[in-house]
Amino acid sequence: MHKLALIGATVMGAVVLSVTPISVQRSTEKTLSVSVDKAYAVVGRPATPGSVAGAHRRHHRRATRRCAAGVTC
């Protein structure tokens, strides 16, 4: 029963660490440090590939190349 509880606690700890933006790192002095990760994503600027305007331009550019190459028109 003790072994099952240890495995369950390990699995739950792994799930919590994989879902939350937390990093656990070991330093050279063999101590553990916990830090919160931050992500700064900028979406919506016209030059970014994920923006609607960028996707629209990319679609037309690829369609023009395909038509010029004789693949589709």
Count how many domains the chain has.
Answer: 2
More confident residue, 18 or 53: 18
Domain containing 63 equals 41-73
Residue-averaged pLDDT of the chain? 78
Q: Are residues 29 and 52 in the same domain?
A: no
Residues 45 and 66 in one domain: yes
Query: What confidence score (pLDDT) does residue 45 get?
Result: 61
Q: Which residue has the higher pLDDT, 12 or 1?
A: 12
Return the exposure string of 57-73: e unless at least 16 CB atoms fall within 10 Å of the residue's CB, then b: eeeeeeeeeeeeeeeee
Instruction: Check residues 9 and 29 and name the one with the higher pLDDT.
Output: 9
Verify that 29 and 45 share a domain, yes or no: no
66 within 8 A of 72, measured Cβ to Cβ: yes
Amino acid identity for residue 51 in this structure? S
12 and 29 co-located in one domain? yes
CA atoms of 49 and 58, how far apart (whole Å): 8
